[in-house]
Amino acid sequence: MNSMKAALAIEDGTYVEGIAFGAEKTVEGELVFNTSMTGYVEALTDPSYAGQILMMTYPLIGNYGVCTEDFESDGVKVEGFVVKELCKHPSNWRSEMSVDELLKQYDVPGIEGVDTRALTKKTRIYGAMKAVLAVGDDLDKEKLLKRAVEQPSITEIDLVDKVCVKEPKKYEAEKPKFEVVLIDCGIKLSILRQLLKRGVNVTLVPYNYPANKILEMDPDGVFVSNGPGDPARVKETIETIAKLAGKLPMAGICLGHQLTALALGAKTFKLKFGHRGANQPVKDFETGRVFISSQNHGFAVDEKSLPRRLKVTQINLNDHTVEGMVHEDFPLITVQYHPEAGPGPHDTYFFFDRFVDMLKKF
Residues classed as catalytic = 254, 338, 340
Task: Return the amino acid letter for 222.
Answer: V
User: Edge-to-edge strand order for the sheet containing 250-253?
Assistant: 169-171, 200-206, 178-184, 221-224, 250-253, 332-335, 322-327, 310-316, 268-284, 290-301
252, HSE (Cβ side, Cα atoms, 13 Å): 33
CA distance 64 to 103: 15
Please enumerate, as own/partner, the contacts of 266-270 that have beta carbons within 8 Å and a separation of 24 or more. Answer: 266/301, 266/302, 266/305, 266/306, 266/307, 266/310, 267/301, 267/302, 267/305, 268/230, 268/231, 268/232, 268/299, 268/300, 268/301, 268/302, 269/299, 269/300, 269/302, 270/155, 270/230, 270/298, 270/299
Cβ within 8 Å of residue 227, ≥6 positions away = 47, 48, 159, 160, 163, 164, 184, 185, 186, 187, 207, 234, 254, 255, 256
C-alpha–C-alpha distance, residues 361 and 212, integer Å: 23
Of the candidates 129, 159, 290, the one whose C-alpha atom is nearest the C-alpha of residue 229 is 159
Give the CA distances from residue 63 to residues 3, 49, 235, in Å, rounded to whole numbers and listed in that order.
Answer: 19, 22, 41
- Give the bridge partners for 201, in sequence order: 179
